């Protein structure tokens, strides 16, 4: 005689839910607790290294959205380009990361931050000094293995599951 249809399934289910009453929650209380994001996150904004940049405009050419604008002038005596304007319209950016992959001098990084939402569209257009790395704007390890190695390991929701209370 099989006991499948005599409410046994419901009894088993009730046992499962009551056991969960004694289990620790796996949720993260976001503003107070934070998970480490992926080390290769393609976060909010591009980060630009002014010293490494040669003004070759490879990033601007590879951008599918055309959201990078770069203006250079020639410095004859040093045989170099002078970057006069490096402007990214983050509102158009699709975070494909092609510019970062294409940069031949590792002067461009994806951002590691994820809380840089803006209130005005105008604030999304960022240029020159605003694109440099700072305390809030850390470079991500996307396509930059040496940056990724220095970042903390990604924490998973699975680590929150500590079993019994």
Nearer to other proteins among residue 3 and residue 119 (C-beta): 3
Alpha-carbon gap, residue 43 to 114, rounded angstroms:
5
Q: Binding mask 10-39 vs other proteins (x if CB under 8 A, - otherwise)?
A: x--xx-xxx-xx-xxxxx-x----------
Nearer to other proteins among residue 24 and residue 50 (C-beta): 24
Q: Are 164 and 22 in contact (CB under 8 A)?
A: yes
User: What's the closest the beta carbon of residue 115 comes to other proteins, in angstroms?
Assistant: 19
Nearer to other proteins among residue 15 and residue 74 (C-beta): 15
User: What's the closest the beta carbon of residue 21 comes to other proteins, in angstroms?
Assistant: 6
Alpha-carbon gap, residue 13 to 96, rounded angstroms:
45
From residue 15, how far is each of 7, 29, 107, 160 by CA, in Å?
A: 13, 28, 58, 23
158 binds other proteins (CB under 8 A): no
Size of site (CB under 8 A) for other proteins:
18
**Close Cβ partners of 84 (under 8 Å, ≥ 6 residues apart):** 71, 72, 73
Radius of gyration of the chain (CA): 24
Give me the residues that bind other proteins (CB under 8 A), please: 5-7, 10, 13-14, 16-18, 20-21, 23-27, 29, 161
């Amino acid at each position: 005689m099989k006991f499948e249809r005599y409410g046994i399934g419901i009894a088993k289910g009730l046992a499962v839910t009551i056991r969960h009453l004694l289990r620790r929650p796996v949720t993260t209380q976001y503003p107070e607790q934070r998970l480490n994001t992926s080390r290769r996150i393609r976060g909010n904004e591009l980060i630009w290294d002014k010293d490494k940049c040669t003004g070759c405009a490879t990033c601007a050419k590879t951008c599918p959205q055309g959201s990078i604008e770069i203006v250079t002038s020639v410095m004859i005596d040093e045989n170099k380009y002078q970057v006069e304007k490096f402007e990214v319209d983050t509102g158009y950016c699709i975070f494909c990361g092609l510019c970062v992959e294409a940069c031949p001098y590792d002067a461009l990084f994806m951002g590691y931050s994820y809380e840089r939402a803006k209130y005005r569209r105008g604030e999304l257009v960022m240029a020159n000094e605003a694109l440099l790395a700072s305390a809030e704007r850390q470079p991500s390890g996307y396509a930059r293995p040496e940056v990724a190695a220095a970042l903390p390991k990604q924490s998973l929701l699975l680590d929150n599951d500590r079993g019994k209370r």
